[in-house]
Amino acid sequence: MIAVINYDMGNLLSVTKALTKVGAEVRVTRDAQVISDASHVVLPGVGAFSSCMDNLTRYELIEPIKKSVASGKPFLGICLGLQLLFEESEEKPLGGTNPKGLGILKGQVKKFSTEMTVDNEELKVPHMGWNSIKIQKDSGLLKDVPDGSYFYFVHSYFCAPEDDSIALTKTDYGVEFVSSIKKDNIFACQFHPEKSQQIGLKVLKDFSELK
């Protein structure tokens, strides 16, 4: 059973429908015991970094998330669910300081420059739409995904891991950024597999079949 964590900030319907479509049993939950009992855990995320951390704290989900990661069970973070795994983000609230993340992975979440250009053409922020990935290392999670495959992105911030060896894929958008990571039982992606048609479903199916 896959537990999809509900903290009022995730794209729950699309994620749940996509996982169900690939044959997974899914429960959307914020119950710590259900999360503990699950064979796999998914942390989706849409919205502001600080608001997401506030909601995880409000619903007492930080410890269940950390225990899930420490247990060794397959764990998937999607979009902001990737960014929250890091130590802090440049996406600070108005007048505030850089908000702290879960600190499960070392590194920061950085903002795209609004002055990026390619061939003298200004790039828009947020980075929105289809873009390709460059696979950095072997992984069962991408066993059915060819290098150069296109996935769907929507984000203004990107992760900068302290340890580049955890980068599973990289993507170019003004700068080369880490678009997914793999470390031990953690897989997390900046792109949205649930919105990436058949290639995204392959990623979710591979994740659901991890032991």
* Catalytic (active-site) positions: 79, 192, 194
Q: Cα(39)–Cα(68) distance, rounded to whole angstroms?
A: 9
Cα–Cα distance for residue pair 142/200, rounded to 1 Å: 10
Backbone φ and ψ for 106, nearest 5 degrees, come out as -85, 135
- The strand pairing partners of 29, in sequence order, are 5
Cβ distance 168 to 142 under 8 Å?
Answer: yes
Strand duo 26-29 + 2-5: pairing = parallel
